[in-house]
Each structure stands twice: as structure tokens, then as C-alpha cells.
Amino acid sequence: MGILSLNASACSSEAVLSASKSTAYLIQRGRRMKLRKKMSITSRLAVGGLSALLTTMALTTQGASASSSDLTAYGSDTGAPQPTPSGSLYLEPSCTDLPDAGYDMYLGEDGYAASGDTFGYHGPGGVSQGFNVLANVTDAHTMYENGHGMGAGTYFFLNGPTSDNATTAAEAVSYGEWQGYYATVFYNDAQAAAGGDYSDLFLWGDVEGGPGQPAVNGWSANVSLNQDVVAGFVSYLEDNHTNVGIYSAPSEWQSVLGSVQLDQVSWTYEYDAGGNENPCPTYTFVGGPGNVGAQFFGGQGPDSVNALGWQWAQTPYAPGDWDQFDLSHYNSLFGINLKP
């Protein structure tokens, strides 16, 4: 399986800026319209689009039972934890007693929508940088190259329509498309900075916060406009031959997007937020700290082939995000043979 590379199409005809590979930068919308060179993608999966996101169609639910799958990739996201070295390979912290709990995946935040015309980039850097850790990217890629897991990938933190003063469906869709565009730009910059070590087959969009919450992230009380933003993000990426996944949680999804069902793949965050990272889940999507299991969103459940990831613990006192992904679902979607 090759390394994913993304193709960004221009959203206007303004001048091209030179590429930046620094660990962080801010950029104004409309200032950077094309990548250094046209890139291709090694694999394409049609998992929905603008219309699919906003329908209530039944979901495909093929694949292994969540409680019986033995194809579990463990790992982390964002700033921590760092993997535990084991010879030339790496193990998931807190899971070293499990035979297959290698450090098989990592997802870093490569960028975000700040407000209005401003978008921020997080290139792969040191642990203190805290969003996209180069050492974790490298370690997950080492495991991938040795036949373990799915490797490293990236996600983009989405903002809602009020961040761009969008008040119509067209404006909200456009703002989502711009976020898809910069997610692509930032992915390619991060890929170049990491020496091509990102191999996950999806670019993830992070949907968090909503009306009435402390950090609203620009989401509106108008759920329809929120849906338009996410639909614009998804459709832009899929129109440019990019596989899209969504990170959220049941309460966040309901607050931001209402009862709309999801036809893209999903990565759900911890049901046991603020808990401990012990014990490590023995099976896919079940048996986490406090004996909780993964709670998916957008009409999906653990047995859905589109349910891929679970952030099963988050520890605020010793910061870290622990994750697991169901490789049997990856294999069903792509016809491949990933293993822990």
C-alpha cells in the first residue's frame, strides 16, 4: 500500500506562494492557491459526499463483530503519549501486557481554522509542539514499514459558520470548502516535512463544540448552516480524490449537526473522558477504563464497517490521548490486509 498524497485544486486565480515547511504558521485565505506540484493519490474510496452526508439512508454494516475482532491497532493522537520502545519496534503505553498492543497508529493535527480568513498549520515537530509530534509519526511509520498497523495520519480542526460570518447555505458550504482546501495544503506540507512518513488512507476532520458549550468553535445554533460547512469540507476533499473521515462524539455530533446521519468513516472520542488509561481495552471498541465501550455517532455503531477508530482514554492530569482502530474494517473497505 502506497503513501497517500493529496491534490488541492485552486479556489481562485491569485498568485502562488512558496511552500513553508516550518512547524507552524498562519495563512490568510486566498493567498495560496496551488501546491508546489500536482500530486496524485494512491487509493480512492467512495464513501459518500455532499448528498450522502445529509441523507438518512441506511448504513452498510458488514464486517467483523466489534467484540470479537483481533485486528486492533493501538496508538495515540495529538501530543501524547509517546510509544514505549521494544527492540527495534514500539509498544502502546499502558498496553505492554497485551501480545498485539504495538504502537500501530498515530494521528496528528496538521491544521485548523482560526477565524474568518485565517488558517493555522501544525507541521510535525517536537513533543513540546504538542499537536503533530514528529517522533510519533516516525515511530508509527516504522511499525507500518514492519507490517504492523496503519501508520501515521493527520486531522484538521474544523470551525463552524459563525467564524466566517456565514449566514447563507452558499456561504457556509464555501467556508467548508476552504477548510478542505487548507487541510490539503497543510497535509502536503506536513508530509514533505516528515519525509513522506504519513501513510494513513484518510484525512480526518475534527468536529467538536457547539452552541451553549464553553468552546463553541464557531458552530451556530442554526444546525443547517453547520451541516453545510461539514458538507462543503467533505465534498471538496472527495471531489479532489481524498478519503475523508470524521472525528466527533455522540453529544458533540448532536449539538453541532443534529440527527443527520454520517456516510463517511468515523473516529469517536473517549466515552470515559477525564478517566484513566488503565486498563487497556482487550478487544476492539469494548472494555476500556471503567469498563466502557466506544459510543459512535451519526447513526453508526461499532459493527458498522465505517466505524474505524476509538479514542478510548484521555487523561488530563498526565495529558494523553490513547486510541485504537479496527483494521478489519480498514481491510473490508479497501480490500487490503493490514495486521497489528
> pLDDT, tens digit, for every residue of 50-93?
333 332 222 222 223 333 347 999 999 998 899 999 999 999 98
Q: Give me the pLDDT at residue 62, please.
A: 29
**Cα–Cα distance measured from residue 292 to residue 333, given in angstroms and rounded to the nearest whole number:** 26
- DSSP string over 266-288: EEEPPTTTT----SPPSBTTB--
Taking only the tens place, the pLDDT of each residue in 183-192 is: 999 999 999 9
**In this predicted model, what pLDDT tens digit does every residue of 259-285 receive, in sequence order?**
999 999 999 987 666 667 878 888 899
Task: Indicate the Cα dihedral angle 308, 23, 314, 261, nearest 10°.
Answer: -40
Q: Mean of the pLDDT values across residues 231-242? A: 95
Query: 76 with 323: CB under 8 angstroms?
Result: yes
* Residue 161, SS3 per DSSP: helix
CA 9, chain centre distance (Å): 21
Amino acid, res. 24: A
Residue 139 three-state SS: helix
Q: What angle do CA 77, 247, 333 make, to 5 degrees?
A: 95
Contact 123, 21 (CB under 8 A): yes
- Distance of alpha carbon 105 from its chain centroid, rounded? 12
Cell of 242: 481524498
Specify the pLDDT at position 291.
Answer: 81
Cell (9 digits) for 171: 456561504
Residue 18 has pLDDT above 70, yes or no: no
Length of the chain: 340
User: Do 182 and 230 touch, CB atoms closer than 8 A?
Assistant: no
**C-beta atoms surrounding 95 within 10 Å:** 23
pLDDT for 35 equals 30
- Residue 334 is predicted with a pLDDT of 94
Strands (E), 236-334: 244-248, 265-268, 307-314, 321-326
Identify each DSSP E strand in 97-191 by its residue range.
103-115, 118-122, 151-157
Residues paired with 27 in a beta bridge:
119
Q: How many helices (H) and strands (E) does the chain have?
A: 6, 12
Query: What local confidence, expressed as pLDDT, does residue 46 receive?
Result: 30
More confident residue, 25 or 336: 336
CATH topology of domain 25-334: TIM Barrel (3.20.20)
User: How high is the pLDDT of residue 211?
Assistant: 61
- The average pLDDT across 210-226 equals 79
According to DSSP, the residues that pair with 103 across neighbouring strands are 74
